[in-house]
A and B are shown apart, each in its own frame.
Chain A
Amino acid sequence: MHAQQQFDVIVVGAGPAGSSAALVLARAGLRVALIERGEYPGAKNVSGAVFYAPGLLAELLPTFWDEAPFERYITRRVLTFLGKESAFSLDFRTRHFATPPYNGVTILRPKFDRWLASKAVEAGALLITSTVVDDLLYEGERVIGVQCRRDDGALYAPVVIAADGANSFLAKKAGLQREFSAEEMSLGVKEVLRLGERTIEERFNLTGDEGMASEYVGEATGSVKGGAFLYTNRDTLSLGVIVQIASLAQQRVRPYELLDRFKQHPAVAPLVRDGVTLEYSAHMIPEGGWQLIPRLVRAGLLVAGDAAALVFAAGIFLEGMNFAVASGLAAAETALEAHRHGDFSTATLTGYRKRLEQSFVLQDLQRFRLTPAFVNNERLQNLYPELLCQAAEQVFRSEGRPRKKLGSTILATLRCKVSLWTLLRDGWQAGRALFF
């Protein structure tokens, strides 16, 4: 074994999870290899992308707010129910999200991930790009390194952190993750449209560096289960649809058709008018929630970020990068502790899971574990958004005839399509999923 192929920690994947882990480990003086399959970190990474709770990184990097290439901070959140010809929105905005640490910022992953990885490199991590990791190396039951897809591609370290993304081959090869079912995985298809800074500020009622995160359910994805999003960057928009893969296969729809359909919806078309498509990308998202989380640890191996399915897709929450960063940091701390004790057994590394259980990462996922099933409810996806729009239409309709009181107008609209009993049951489910 060459000395130069021996490291203290190997981090696979230079996304938010991997780069944060590498940063902490390198700062602690360990020899860290950060392996990335893309030409540069971020080349292959896709998100919506709103990075919630960026304060997590700001604590680590004092110059974060001056240096980090974020686009706009989110002060406006919109949730829209789309009917065929109509839209019903909840629109929230607050100045309280407008000072650092911001509640959320929009980023462009190719820029942001590259910057974050450069911080890890400055701290002393060795970034190895254009290199695919094919497999883990074992000594008995213990993971002792990785096999890269290059000649003589073995690298050794007592701890490997697998942050290799949504479809983590390493977690599967190590026997920590089972095969996915098509109900648990979603496909995100995204475009970046150039609109210009002025146009964005005027069209979305924003000033300065303020931004908007807007999510859509209902007609956005036709009869396919899923939703859509539209986020403002500095001079571009990120918009896309996220659909359940099982439903996509069942309905035999092509994802880019859904994206086109979303862009042509009468409530969306005026927002994206004259946008020039700069980028088109697609990525798998592990939206299965609590039940999709693999075993996170085995001797010599920790799994973090999307690889560990740490994606918080719970209806009104669509978060992933903050979960990735938090898990990357927890993995790094655990690896540090293991190095201090010189013990890389499952027992020591299980500290990683404990750290996650004490943080928002596993607590949020557990608390909202019923939400993914609720969100994929057939009626919530396809019936209620339309009914909500119809009800609103009935309420606002002015025809020169006597009106009924609102309660009976709304109930009349709902009762045409759905029984009161079903409505109550779904209401209870919604309550269980999100409220109590």
Chain B
Amino acid sequence: MRIAVCLKQAPDCSSVYVDPISGEVDTERFVQTLNAADACALEAALRLKEQLGAGSVFALTLGPGESEEVLRVALAMGADTIERLWHPSAADWGPLTIAAALAARLRADPSLPDLIFCGEQSSDWASGTVGPALAAYLGLPQITGVIGLEAHQDSGQLLLRVTRRLERGYRERLLARPPLLLTVHETLNEPRYPSLPAHLAALRATITVRDPLSLPQFAADFEAEETTIVEVRTPRPRPHRLPIPDSQLSPFERIGEIITGGTSRRQARLVEGSPEELAHELVRFLKERGFV
């Protein structure tokens, strides 16, 4: 079982100060660490390798010299091989280009890894794009937002039972077989604290650096069309439109309606059918509600 883990050095959230008026981030106070979700991804990979009793974990990052720190952490925790990708122009790359570079690096090996782990999002931009884009570039199935992972041997083959985190507290359970890409939520596990000899060995390790532009596969994907960031601002609560209570009602009932927002419980409707029918139904629904 060959496992690859993609890591990123990201600001430790507790060290970040955002000016409330200008919205600017004080870069001098930053402490850069291994992104929390990525540490969980690495831990998940290591536990899987240990459970299977065989295999290797390859930790990969794209970043400047300082980001070698995260690879040393990975090595101390138990990664078998580590590598850093970097080119000065990469400082301006968006998530899609980064994913393309990672994909090109993983393709450069004779075969793709059986499993790829990524953190779901980084603590800085939290776009959650690199993992899914990497899966797309490699043509692999993917499961995002993993908060539960169990591995079983099913007639000699690896079977993963995955719990996925959805919006509003919903959960989804899935069964999956490699090859596969998983993006991991930072609550999946508690990353280990390496032993001193491992830590020392990692501090002294030399790290291979590769220029992604030299990878043959990369040129094709290099012109990835990135999302343009128009504006960054602190989120404000969305105003909620309240219907005016019926004046026929008693004051008690009217106040009750205002307090509850006059909303009824959320209703769900399950529609079944062919993809075309479902698409039509969806468009009809959106038109009906005035969204389209």
Contacts and interface: CB of A to CB of B under 8 A. Distances in A.
Interface in B1-30: 12, 17, 28-29
A127 B200 CA distance: 9
A39 interface: yes
Interface string A150-185: 111111000000000000000000000000000000
Interface of A: 2, 4-5, 39-40, 43, 110-111, 126-128, 131, 148, 150-155, 278
A153 B31 contact: no
Contacts of A131: 196, 199
A152 B203 contact: no
Given A4-B204, A128-B199, A128-B200, A39 B33 contact: yes
B261 interface: no
Closest 4 CB pairs of A and B: A151-B195, A150-B196, A153-B196, A152-B195
B55 interface: no
Interface in B159-213: 193-197, 199-201, 203-204
Given A111-B28, A126-B204, A278-B17, A148 B196 contact: yes
B195 to A, nearest CB: 4
Interface range on chain B (Cβ under 8 Å from partner): 10 to 19
Contact of B197 (A4, A40, A111, A126): A4
A151 B31 contact: no
A39 B197 contact: no
Nearest to A4: B200
B203 A126 contact: yes
11 contacts: A5-B200, A39-B33, A40-B31, A126-B203, A128-B203, A131-B196, A150-B196, A151-B196, A152-B195, A278-B17, A278-B29
A154 B200 contact: no
Which of B29, B196, B201 neighbours the largest number of chain A CB atoms within 10 Å of its CB? B196
Contacts, number: 42
Interface string B38-50: 0000000000000
Contacts of B200: 4-5, 126, 128
A181 to B, nearest CB: 35
A131 B199 CA distance: 10
A150 B203 contact: no
A4 B201 contact: yes
Given A39-B33, A40-B31, A128-B199, A150 B204 contact: no
B196 A154 contact: yes
Contacts of B197: 2, 4-5, 152
Nearest to B20: A276
Nearest to B192: A151
B17 A152 contact: no
A152 B29 CA distance: 33
Contacts of B193: 150
A153 B33 contact: no
A153 B28 CA distance: 33
B261 to A, nearest CB: 36
B31 A39 contact: yes
Contacts of B194: 150-151
A43 B12 CA distance: 12
Contacts of B196: 5, 131, 148, 150-155
Contacts of B195: 150-153
B238 to A, nearest CB: 28
Nearest to B17: A278
Contacts of A151: 194-196
Contacts of A126: 200, 203-204
A110 B17 CA distance: 15
A210 B44 CA distance: 53
A115 B80 CA distance: 32
A278 B16 CA distance: 10
A95 B197 CA distance: 53
Nearest to A39: B31
Contacts of B17: 278
Contacts of B201: 4
A278 B195 CA distance: 35
A155 B199 CA distance: 12
A110 B203 CA distance: 22
A152 B193 CA distance: 12
A82 B108 CA distance: 72
Nearest to A148: B196
A40 B12 CA distance: 12
Contacts of A111: 28
B204 A43 contact: no
A148 B196 CA distance: 8
Nearest to B28: A111
Which of B28, B29, B199, B201 neighbours the largest number of chain A CB atoms within 10 Å of its CB? B199
A153 to B, nearest CB: 4
A391 B199 CA distance: 64
